[in-house]
Structure 1
């Protein structure tokens, strides 16, 4: 009898020790999760103190901003001079117009003068290419209006102080140097002059970017192609981060599929901006966080996969908050986070060929 009691007591002690060990192990995991969360919080605060994702801003907009460029009636236009004949590498004669665009007269127009306009371009070999276009300027005998010759490479307002412009290859190279290579706009003119001998202003770089972003421009057309690729993708990841546009609060959205990445800047963060890119009939899976934007009724028919990284972080935070409270809430949070982590590992091993879908 006594020996049986001693054995039972021993079993109870072992059971108590096992429970105590399990409790300490869960508490240790919770402390590790809390430590990791605090470290990440400290890193975020240190990073914010020295670096911002958005461009530097004073958070206020000038009440009366001045437009760029030379003021009308002030000074002389002396920066861009006409090239010398030795600099001209190609001459193109523009066809003489025979129709008045103002009154519709069709026939022989009266010769008024011949304008010379130029396009400075980068040659395929990297050397400077300067093309002169000799544009006939005619006078309509019916109404007396001026009619200029038309060429597909020339803009309708390319004359006078804006007669000398940059070609599309040169403008694209400038934007690549700025946005991809990371050269500041103020340094681009000097770099271009040193490497190619072409002289431009910082304002030309800025205005070139604005023209590229215009509707129906090359950049807008390329963005439309990327949006079409995203709409046809099997899955698309989407997330937003804070930004600023003209000193005002804004958001930058990222859309990423297996083959396509698209960034968009918006003044708002609603389902409207999301549906503008993915459309109203997206058949793929939208991978996103738990922000309320994705709970819109307009997205009820869209299959969604919540980002596991967000869920793991949320579970760790719940476990840390429940650590010293009664019950096993902190253990549940830790186990839930571990299930997600194991799922990610198995997913990686499956795609690496280490296991089958059934396994």
Structure 2
């Protein structure tokens, strides 16, 4: 009996260790900082046990498609480029001949042209030498790039395939060969993408200047590897612009560098310590603190009334602000809400998740209610979190950035594509524009070679 007890105790100890290991791994994906859209559903039922009519139920409890009562959405149709009359002479059943049709059943079919092979042009660039000063000049053509053998369309499609379609460079090369019979290597696709980034860097800096002058900026950051070492990709987002910056630091020096140390706008952010070290004009994210409060309530009974009180404050403020109160009314709302938050902080609770939560509320007391007094400020940092989704997906694909050149290309192209989409512009046409403009600009500033005579 004692041997059996020892055996069972050993197995129980092994199971406890395994449970602890699995819970540690689970906390990486399910914690207060995990958005609701990425959390598992509350049901433990497996898909195989559900009825057929529930096959489309999403993991977050919702159902796909528009809600009941919404009008359907139809694709807009354009006028046809060509009309073809499709007729029939006889009945396919009995073979009797038709006299004439009794009506028309139209069908619009949209098709794309067959992929075209590349157009190869040889530019015989004549060069000249000045008899007076000995300067050598090479004639330029607007469609002939100053470097490389690939034109504007190849450069734009390479960058778009990498950062919009998320293709590895080897697959980009395969795509050019399959669709256009254009042979290039993965390295060539990388160099074409790098050229697109260099061409768009001036516009990247213009985006940075626009964000520096903004009244409100959403900021967030997430990890990324740089040659296998830890680095960070930061996002700075306004209503019209999105900027990404890849840095090896996660400190306050990054927003100081990007926005400028004298930035006077409001920063919407989470609770990371770099933000209060950079600016005192903050709006802390309510979505984060509410998730943390809910998590604390699940772990500790004392957290339940605190979570409901905190949520009630937020919901009441949102409802009151919908009526667009006057500045004086907003100031009164701030004072009342601050007193309610202070009353939460004063509660006596044992050490644990709830005490940690109250400490966070107290630490950000000056920054939870900025949105009440400033109508343009959002109470959540959802805009910045949404902006990081694309880099996070790319991170899963590329694994690591190799060097500074990779960081340069990554932050530049991502910023350009995100900003153009915000502004309703076509990314492909914009890439062609910046590459073409850069070619013309480089020619305008080119210094001709000078040959000195002996």
For the residue of structure 1 that corresponds to 2:169, the secondary structure is coil
Residue 313 of structure 2: aligned partner: 339
1:179 aligns with 163
Give the superposition deviation at 1:308.
0.9
Change (3 A) 1:197 1:316: same
Any gaps of 5 or more consecutive residues in structure 1? 1-36, 49-124
Map 1:24-35 → 2, pairs under 5 A:
none
Q: Does residue 132 of structure 1 match 2:122?
A: yes
> Which residue matches 2:49?
none
Say whether 1:200 aligns with 2:174.
no
Cα distance change on mapping 1:152 and 1:251 into 2, 3 Å? farther
| 1:151 and 2:149 correspond | no
SS of residue in 2 equivalent to 1:276: helix
Q: Kindly indicate whether the alpha-carbon contact (under 8 Å) linking 1:137 and 1:147 is maintained by their aligned counterparts in 2.
A: yes
Question: Please, what is the CA RMSD of the aligned residues?
Answer: 3.8
Distance (Å, rounded) in 2 between the aligned partners of 1:138 and 1:294: 58
Deviation at 1:185, TM superposition (A): 1.8
Q: CA 1:261–1:42 in 2, change beyond 3 Å: closer, same or farther?
A: closer
* 1:38–1:195 CA distance, 2 compared to 1 (3 A): closer
1:299 aligns with 2:283: no
Question: Aligned partners of 1:43, 1:290: CA distance in 2, in Å?
Answer: 11
TM-score (structure 1 length as normaliser) = 0.52
- What is the CA deviation profile of residues 254-303 of structure 1, one whole-angstrom value per residue up to 9, with x for unaligned ones? 1111122222221111122112222223232110111110122x524xx2
> Distance in 2 between the 1:134 and 1:238 partners?
51
**Distance in 1 (alpha carbons) for counterparts of 2:308 and 2:204:** 42
- For residues 146 and 194 of structure 1, what CA distance do their matches in structure 2 show? 45
Rounded to whole Å, the distance in 2 between the matches of 1:128 and 1:227 is: 37
In the alignment, is residue 283 of structure 1 matched against residue 255 of structure 2? no
Question: Within 5 A, what are the aligned runs for 1:1-359?
Answer: 40-41=30-31, 128-136=118-126, 149-151=138-140, 165-213=149-197, 217-296=198-277, 298-300=278-280, 303-323=281-301, 330-344=304-318, 350=322, 355-357=323-325
CA gap of 1:341–1:266, structure 2 versus 1, over 3 A, is farther
Q: Distance in 2 between matches of 1:261 and 1:294?
A: 18
Q: Is the 8 A contact 1:287 1:306 kept in 2?
A: yes
1:208 is displaced (CA, Å) by 2.0
Q: Is the 8 A contact 2:155 2:195 kept in 1?
A: no
Query: Aligned partners of 1:42 and 1:341: how far apart in 2?
Result: 19
User: For the residues of structure 2 that align with 1:193 and 1:339, how far apart are their CA atoms?
Assistant: 60
Max radius of gyration: which structure?
1
Determine if contact 2:33/2:292 at 8 Å carries over to the other structure: no
Give 5+ residue unaligned stretches, structure 2.
1-26, 40-114, 330-454
CA contact (8 A) 1:316 1:337 kept: no
SS at match of 1:254: strand
Task: Determine which structure has the larger helix proportion and give its number.
Answer: 2
Distance in 2 between residues matched to 1:310 and 1:338, nearest whole Å: 15
**2:236 match: secondary structure:** strand
8 Å contact from structure 1 (residues 319, 334) kept in 2: no
Q: Is the 8 A contact 2:221 2:235 kept in 1?
A: yes
Measure, in 1, the Cα distance between the counterparts of 2:192 and 2:254.
26
> Contact (CA 8 Å) 2:268, 2:284: kept in 1 or not?
yes
Number of residue pairs the alignment of both structures matches:
222
Please give the alpha-carbon distance, in whole angstroms, between the structure 2 residues aligned to 1:276 and 1:126: 46
For 1:256 and 1:269, locate their aligned partners in 2 and report how far apart those are by CA, in whole Å.
Answer: 17
Give the drift of 1:218: 2.1
